[in-house]
Chains A and B, each alone.
Chain A
Amino acid sequence: MHADTSTRTRSGRLTQWLVSGPPFVFLCIFFLVPAAIMVVASVRYPGEFGALAPLFGGRPGEDSGITFENYGVFFGDWIYAQIFAKSFGVALATTLICLVMAYPVALLIARSPRKYRDLMVLLCVLPFASNFLVRVYAWMIILGPFDLLFSRFAVIVGMVYVHLPFMILPLYTNLEKHDPALLDAAQDLGANAWNRFWRVTFPLSLPGIFSGSALVFIPVLGMFAIPEILGGKDDWLVGNLIKESFLGTRDWPFGSMLSLMLTAAVLAIAAGAAWLAKRGVARA
């Protein structure tokens, strides 16, 4: 009996490794290794014709070895902090607008008869069936006649439009799981429609709000296509800066440094949010 159990456990563990192994290896190679390359690249010099200078044995007159010059440039000029702040502002605005617009939609789908829900979700993701750039260009045609193009407004409209489904889906997934008996109970115990939402539905949907917000906020931070197409010359965001470093000036080290700073900022915000959430729970 005991031997039997341990065999089953051992084979179970083997299955576990076989199933989780490949994605683990994949992540190591295609996520950790590039990240490590970026870290290294950010402390090197650009090559003579762009990209990266060799680490050792460069030709005479060429810079080689390790340098923190890029970080010096970043912290030495206000313009980068300003672009970061602007990017975070746009990402925050986009996230909030998406949240306000997506919540009623997600709630509507979650409270619809089960047989219509799949269709409604399908309609929400239908825009993905056409090319992203084409859809953004379509907004040029829509906004152009109203003289709204090439503005911060146009950028946010485009951002919200593209990212709305990423807010709707996690919210719907969360709301759909709520036990309808809880709303009955709340009403029974004296809660009006607003209190039923604010005291029951909303707090229970916080996990959905958090994951939806992450799915919108982070991609918006790195987005360069929308500001480039719909934004004015003042609407460059971090994404454009990074893209320009790699493809325009071909200064890979500088682009790598910017990417890392962006990642660090996102992680700092996530940690801050987690800390706040924890404190909120402890207090409640």
Chain B
Amino acid sequence: MALLEIKNVSRRFGDFTAVDDVSFTVESGEFFTLLGPSGCGKTTLLRMIAGFDLPDSGAIVLDGVDLRDTPAEQRPIHTVFQSYALFPHMTVAQNIAFPLRMAGKADDEVRTRVREAVAQVKLDKLEQRYPHELSGGQKQRVALARGLVNRPRLLLLDEPLGALDAKLREQMQIELIRLQRGVGVTFVFVTHSQAEALALSHRIAVMNHGVIEQMDEPDKLYGFPKNRFVADFIGNVNMHEATVAATGGTLTLELGTLGRIAAPSREGVKAGTGGVFVIRPEQVSIRAAAEASPDPNQFEGVVNDFLYIGDVTTYIVDLPDGKRFEALLPNSAPGRAKFFEVGDHVRLSWKAEAGAFLDA
């Protein structure tokens, strides 16, 4: 049986439908992420799971029990808030002990469990500090320890890494994964950062306008987006209007004035269907125009600009009909940082199996 079942949950605020007939299940031990832009309904959904808000229709079921009549304080679900919401008048130890005290645990047990939790998030020696004496990363750890110490069935995390700087965020991501595997608590994580979602999750539900656009494992989501929104929201993508010219072993697409390309076939697509062709920049090869490519899809173009990131360079290439493609080139060749300059004539190419046609 699934640990958490969201069954046809809807929530409206006046005319605005924040969550629109959403259903999904979360398995025990899973790291599940709700990903979407701000206002997509992910936080509303999280608040309903925590018990701060009730669905207008549908049910939230934990361990087979409908939570409708269970107030937030009685749900075995704890939350790590975006602002951490640490109690400023309590020390680190008192903050972490709070849920244990509320559950009426004996002093001995509280002490032992707090000590364990403190060690788990590496806050030793900071137990007697007050929240205002901690750094952002330390506050984050206290919030995590406080959420986990009473062993909830479910830990909700509301953009917990949003306030940290890039370096620290990466470090905390690794610790989050380690912590989640270590304690075996089911995490439901809310974020607007696709990179964070891909790095952390077992499964991701991409939300937009109150509905789930796609729910999948990170690599499937990235590799096989179901529609334009998901393709565009997760990672970078080249997206161009296309019409199906012919079906068969591979799909033949008419890419506007650019010409025809071969693309992976898809079931249920008929000739004449309009949609978009999407391909990730790392699937597009780039080489000097003079060099030949074995790929069936290839176009010559001119480098318009490039973004040097360090490990890779993204080249922005203009094709003759004005279409713009991005191609990613690893800078792994020793002694060489740059391959092409602005204005260079280059050849873009990709395999028939690369990219996808989306009509949704």
* Given A179-B83, A195-B102: A188 in contact with B78 (beta carbons within 8 A): yes
| Contact in complex: A190, B88 (CB < 8 Å) | no
| Contact in complex: B102, A185 (CB < 8 Å) | no
B125 at the A/B interface (Cβ < 8 Å)?
Answer: no
Which residues of chain A have C-beta atoms less than 8 A from B50's C-beta?
A: 188
A67 at the A/B interface (Cβ < 8 Å)?
Answer: no
Please encode chain B, from 69 to 105, with 1 for each CB lying within 8 Å of some chain A CB and 0 for all others. Answer: 0011110011101010111110000000011001100
| Contact in complex: B150, A190 (CB < 8 Å) | yes
Separation of A192 and B72 alpha carbons in the complex (Å): 9
A204 at the A/B interface (Cβ < 8 Å)?
Answer: yes
Which residues of chain B have C-beta atoms less than 8 A from A96's C-beta?
A: none
| Contact in complex: B99, A190 (CB < 8 Å) | yes
Which residues of chain B have C-beta atoms less than 8 A from A191's C-beta?
A: 73, 98, 102
B311 to chain A, nearest CB (A): 38
Q: Which residue of A lies closest to B76 (CB)?
A: A190
Separation of A129 and B303 alpha carbons in the complex (Å): 76
Please encode chain A, from 183 to 213, with 1 for each CB lying within 8 Å of some chain B CB and 0 for all others. Answer: 0111111111001000110011000000000
Separation of A189 and B72 alpha carbons in the complex (Å): 8
Q: Which residue of B lies closest to A180 (CB)?
A: B85
| Contact in complex: B83, A187 (CB < 8 Å) | no
| Contact in complex: B85, A184 (CB < 8 Å) | yes
A182 at the A/B interface (Cβ < 8 Å)?
Answer: yes
A126 at the A/B interface (Cβ < 8 Å)?
Answer: no
Number of A positions contacting B (CB below 8 A): 17
Which residues of chain B have C-beta atoms less than 8 A from A189's C-beta?
A: 73, 78, 98-99, 102, 146-147, 150
Which residues of chain B have C-beta atoms less than 8 A from A200's C-beta?
A: 87
Q: Which residue of B lies closest to A189 (CB)?
A: B99
Q: Which residue of A lies closest to B104 (CB)?
A: A190
**Residues A69-123 near B (CB distance < 8 A):** none
The listed residue (B73, B85, B99, B147) touching A182 by CB distance below 8 A is B85
A181 at the A/B interface (Cβ < 8 Å)?
Answer: yes
Separation of A188 and B146 alpha carbons in the complex (Å): 11
| Contact in complex: A184, B52 (CB < 8 Å) | yes
Separation of A38 and B85 alpha carbons in the complex (Å): 51
| Contact in complex: B73, A190 (CB < 8 Å) | yes
Please encode chain A, from 157 to 172, with 1 for each CB lying within 8 Å of some chain B CB and 0 for all others. Answer: 0000000000000000
* Given A186-B98, A189-B78, A189-B99: A181 in contact with B85 (beta carbons within 8 A): yes
* Given A187-B72, A189-B99: A182 in contact with B87 (beta carbons within 8 A): yes
Q: A residues bordering B, Cβ < 8 Å?
A: 179, 181-182, 184-192, 195, 199-200, 203-204
Can you offer 21 A-B residue contacts whose CB atoms are under 8 A?
A: A179-B85, A181-B85, A182-B85, A182-B88, A184-B81, A185-B85, A187-B52, A188-B52, A188-B78, A189-B98, A189-B99, A189-B146, A189-B147, A189-B150, A190-B73, A190-B99, A190-B102, A190-B103, A191-B73, A192-B73, A203-B89
